[in-house]
Amino acid sequence: MPLRLPDDLMVSVSGVRGRVGPSMTPELIAGVAAAFGSWLLDEGQDGPVIMGRDSRTSGPMLGRAVLAGFQSVGVDVIDVGIVPTPTVLLAVDHHGAAGGIAVTASHNPAEWNALKLISSEGMFLDGEASLAFREYLTTQDPERAPWDELGEVTSDPSAVDRHVGAILELPQLDVERLERRKLKVALDCVRGAGGVIMPRLLEDLGCEVVSIHTEPDGFFPRDPEPTAEHLAELGELVRESGADIGLAVDPDVDRLSLVDEKGTPLGEDLTLALAAAVVLRETPGPLVTNLSTSRVVEDVADAYESPLVRAPVGEINVARRMQVEDAVIGGEGNGGVILPNLHLTRDAPVAAALVLQYLCDAETTFSRAAADWPSYAIVKTKVSFPREQLEGAYTALVEDLDADTEDRTDGLRLAWAKERAWLHVRPSGTEPIVRLIAEAPEAERAEALVARADELLKGVV
Ligand code: MG
């Protein structure tokens, strides 16, 4: 019998996700892992797979289910333990693995967990592969191995060491200079997997570290999404300790958020911009980001005469486009930085190292260094809207708003070059809602754009 998925389990491009309890059970997760192992074999992949997880309390239970599922179809598994998601992807590369699973619900609250599925390329499954796997999962009964052909489980405790080592070797970093500057860094890992890598990486970069919530036990003391409004405690720590900068990561350590030396949370919009500045000033080249990322990355790309390419929202869409463009850096406005000479996935430890290099080289305070770049206001909202009327809505918006450019690769994005403003109208893939995101140098203009779009959408239905 193929696996029957409960209705409240979310199956998407990135994997399966649900609340621990009735929907995220070890039985179900073992079934998904068995199907994934069997599908990889069908796809002609051999070799072991990698399993790693963040610090959630459900991680050991679901992790063991993943191991058992793989073993049951005769696939060997290397368990890398509690590590950042980018560390799992790097381990897939290192071991030449057939694929992998990261057990993490990323920035979602503690009661959630999820499986993120990884291909032999050391990247998440793309849209096509994930559709193929979903079809397999819901229609096929994976062939189980007999008693003498079960997969073996081994552990690899060195994945974090290799990750830190690879970052220290990055040609974009001047570690000696960082060691001389001895930056004082305040760190908040929200009791996620960041505690196993961030303090150590920062110390290896010569920083003095003061930290909160580095115990990787999954008891998140606040909303674990590292947006500015959740970083008051880190701001306090920066002020109390006199730190040069504050850094916060999400539970699976692929997003980095910034706090200035005054303790003001700047959020995640600047992370990619500052990391990109460090890379592009040495090696100008294509920068790829998504359609909803702040325009400040465009300013950075312009400053270093580098082309900026925007891909549809979704990490794998950005990563795939980076391959096509031969990009030198890429990422998302949510603090996710992708440095292709390490790997094609969002990596907060890499982002932290690049941002610290930026601050070190600026030879001033972080708030002044950040003010080298224009600041913008982003306004986001969502409205309910029927999918079948979207085309009509796009036409109405294009006609009314008179933009300089329009992009329809992921909803509708309109931009006004001289005003340095844009509006992205993006339908949800799963619900009859549309997200409206606008950015402009002045909050009033961004708010007016969202309000006008909302009005136009209401006029269509
Ligand atoms: Mg994450």
From ligand 1's centre to the CA of 5, what distance in Å?
24
From ligand 1's centre to the CA of 382, what distance in Å?
22
From ligand 1's centre to the CA of 331, what distance in Å?
13
What's the CA gap between 1 and 97, in Å, rounded? 28
pLDDT-derived band of residue 214, with 50, 70 and 90 as boundaries?
A: very high
Question: How much is the pLDDT for 461?
Answer: 78
From ligand 1's centre to the CA of 334, what distance in Å?
10
| Pairing between β-strand 184-188 and β-strand 208-212 as defined by DSSP bridges | parallel
What's the CA gap between 442 and 206, in Å, rounded? 38
Helix (H, G, I), strand (E, B) or coil at 187: strand
CA neighbor of 189 nearest in space, from 237, 240, 155, 244: 237
What's the CA gap between 359 and 381, in Å, rounded? 33
310-326 average pLDDT score: 96
Q: What's the whole-number average pLDDT of the chain?
A: 96
End-to-end CA distance of the chain: 44
CA neighbor of 253 nearest in space, from 157, 209, 169, 187: 187
What's the CA gap between 443 and 448, in Å, rounded? 8
CA neighbor of 422 nearest in space, from 293, 266, 324: 293
155 DSSP β-pair partners = 79
Reported as a single tens digit per residue, the pLDDT across 321-367 is: 999 999 999 999 999 999 999 999 999 999 999 999 999 999 999 99
Strand order in the sheet with 287-290: 308-311, 287-290, 329-332, 336-338
From ligand 1's centre to the CA of 234, what distance in Å?
19
121-137 average pLDDT score: 94
Question: How much is the pLDDT for 405?
Answer: 95
pLDDT-derived band of residue 68, with 50, 70 and 90 as boundaries?
A: very high
pLDDT-derived band of residue 15, with 50, 70 and 90 as boundaries?
A: confident
Where residue 338 falls (left for φ over 0; alpha for ψ -120 to 50; beta otherwise) is beta
Q: Which of 267-276, 329-338, 439-448, 452-461 has the lowest mean pLDDT?
A: 452-461
| Pairing between β-strand 184-188 and β-strand 112-118 as defined by DSSP bridges | unpaired
65-88 average pLDDT score: 98
pLDDT-derived band of residue 290, with 50, 70 and 90 as boundaries?
A: very high
88 DSSP β-pair partners = none
From ligand 1's centre to the CA of 179, what distance in Å?
29
Reported as a single tens digit per residue, the pLDDT across 369-399 is: 999 999 999 999 999 999 899 999 999 999 9
- Helix, strand, coil percent values for the chain (each to nearest 5): 40, 25, 35
From ligand 1's centre to the CA of 255, what distance in Å?
6
Share of residues in the chain with pLDDT > 70 (%): 100
From ligand 1's centre to the CA of 304, what distance in Å?
29
Reported as a single tens digit per residue, the pLDDT across 104-128 is: 999 999 999 999 999 999 999 999 9
76 backbone dihedrals φ, ψ, rounded to 5°: -75, 145
Question: How much is the pLDDT for 7?
Answer: 79
CB atoms within 10 A of CB 415: 20
Question: How much is the pLDDT for 239?
Answer: 98
**Is the CA virtual torsion 358, 278, 329, 207 positive or negative?**
negative
From ligand 1's centre to the CA of 251, what distance in Å?
6
pLDDT > 90? residue 430: no
pLDDT > 80? residue 101: yes
From ligand 1's centre to the CA of 223, what distance in Å?
13
The answer to whether 217 and 247 are in contact (CB under 8 A) is: no
Question: How much is the pLDDT for 115?
Answer: 96
Give ion ligand 1 contacts, CB < 5 A: 106, 250, 252, 254
From ligand 1's centre to the CA of 224, what distance in Å?
10
Residues identified as active-site: 106
